Chain A
Amino acid sequence: MREIDAGLLSSAIAGLCVDANYNIAPDIEEAFKRARDTEAGELARRVLDDLLENAAIAAEGLLPLCQDTGMAVVFVEIGQDVHVSGSLKDAINDGVRRGYEYGFLRKSVVADPIDRVNTGDNTPAIIYCDVVPGDSLLVTVAPKGFGSENMSAMSMLKPSEGIEGVKKFVIETVRKAGPNPCPPIVIGVGVGGTADYASLSAKKALLRSVGSANPSAFWDKVERDLLGRINALGIGPAGLGGHTTALAVFISPYPTHIAGLPVAVNIGCHSTRHRSIRL
């Protein structure tokens, strides 16, 4: 049994919070550049130039990409031959607390959804743990802004609605979101499982790299079709019109019940931030 000190995990989380908020991912930056070269409209190109400049300014290290440095969503894949000494949950929240303080990141979490008093340190994080074979920890921090999170949706479709029902729901969710989630967006879709599982799958789907193919030929084709149809909506960068409404559609299917067809859409903004480290 391998021992990993909770303090090490905490420091890793703090570093990931800062890195994700200051440095645009290379796949996203490439996608901006590609879109910049293919957009027809002057305003759309201008927005993409601004986003590239914004990333350059943030990378100098003095400012996060966006003032909404998100609620910290943390995924931990725990190897079953690893033992974390100390409290895993405390270590994660301690890391978030340190990262948000050290990195001058905004504290955007309120303790109660109704009386809404800020917790002051951006904790608690949203934590998902999964136990996997092996003797290491894979830690991912995905700071999630709520301009995009608020535009997410889920629906329990009837099985008879099939793939066309799924596509219709995804397109309708994006159309309704319009300019609000900071397009060009990344779209995570969870299909199958249960209501909660589809929602989690949609969020996790956002962790894929822009440009990566779905391992299933069927779902890869669905992703391409959806991306094309969504980019034909005309919403465009910042919602000001154009052909780049989404950078990617990522679908995560899962077995489900004979009576159901759950579908969830989690929208990521143009920065769709996430960073991972293996300990």
Chain B
Amino acid sequence: MSTEGGTKKISTPLSDEVIKGLSAGDRVLITGVVYTARDAAHKRMFEILERGEDMPFDFFGQIVYYAGPSPARPGAAIGSIGPTTSGRMDAYSPALIKIGLKAMIGKGLRNEDVKRAIVSHCGVYMAAIGGAGALISRSVKRARVIAFPELGAEAIRMLDVEDFPAIVAIDSSGRDIYDMAGTD
């Protein structure tokens, strides 16, 4: 991790040491690999987990981004790709964190179960700016569908990102920027 002008630069996969160095409210730029998954993909992964089958990718140390991009134009890596509301994934996230998922990127509130899982497994939840999908797309250099292609926008994509912009929303000690925001 390096710090540049108040922004922390981090690379994937994320070690516990890096995660512990992140505090709610920090601005981060992420470089490396991020996997997209939203409602339908989460439901399927959860069902795979319940059946005890192999998951479509190895979660250990990885980042899941709650996003379903707009279609890429020919020659472009990706379309618009901002975050979707994270709360809809709350039912599934603790189980994924338990098998090694380290970080999540989305927007909006998480429930207490997710917060507890983050704290007990040294995880982190980051927020990307909702509705800034065109801007965020510039940090995506390559994208390929790695699971559930039939889900279209909701398929799991492996993204190669450079300086993907996010803000630490819930840090590994459980501090939540949204709790801090509503109290001024």
Contacts and interface: CB of A to CB of B under 8 A. Distances in A.
B76 A62 contact: yes
Interface stretch (A89-97, A161-169, A193-201, A232-240): A232-240
Interface residues of A, number: 46
Nearest to A179: B108
B130 A64 contact: no
A10 interface: no
Contact of A43 (B25, B70, B178): B25
A47 to B, nearest CB: 6
B107 A238 contact: yes
Nearest to A41: B184
A182 B135 contact: no
B97 to A, nearest CB: 21
Given A106-B153, A178-B109, A180-B107, A65 B73 contact: no
A235 B180 CA distance: 9
Given A57-B138, A107-B153, A271-B131, A67 B184 contact: no
A270 B40 CA distance: 26
A241 B153 contact: no
Q: How large is the interface on B (under 10, 10 to 19, 20 to 34, 35 or more residues)?
A: 35 or more
Contact of B71 (A53, A106, A242, A269): A106
Contacts of A54: 129, 131-135
Interface in A149-207: 150, 175, 178-180, 182
A225 interface: no
Interface string A213-250: 00000000000000000000111101111100000000
A179 B178 contact: yes
Contacts of A235: 181-182
Contacts of A64: 70, 79-80, 133-134
Given A147-B107, A178-B108, A269 B134 contact: no
A147 B180 CA distance: 22
B70 A106 contact: yes
A232 B170 CA distance: 23
B85 A57 contact: no
Nearest to A53: B135
Interface string B7-29: 00000000000000000010100
Given A63-B137, A67-B67, 8 more contacts: A67-B70, A106-B69, A118-B152, A180-B109, A234-B181, A234-B182, A239-B181, A270-B131
Interface of A: 43, 46-47, 50-51, 53-55, 57-58, 62-69, 104-108, 116, 118, 120, 145, 147, 150, 175, 178-180, 182, 233-236, 238-242, 269-271
Interface of B: 25, 27, 40, 67-73, 76, 79-82, 84-85, 87, 107-109, 127, 129-135, 137-138, 151-154, 165, 167, 177-178, 180-184
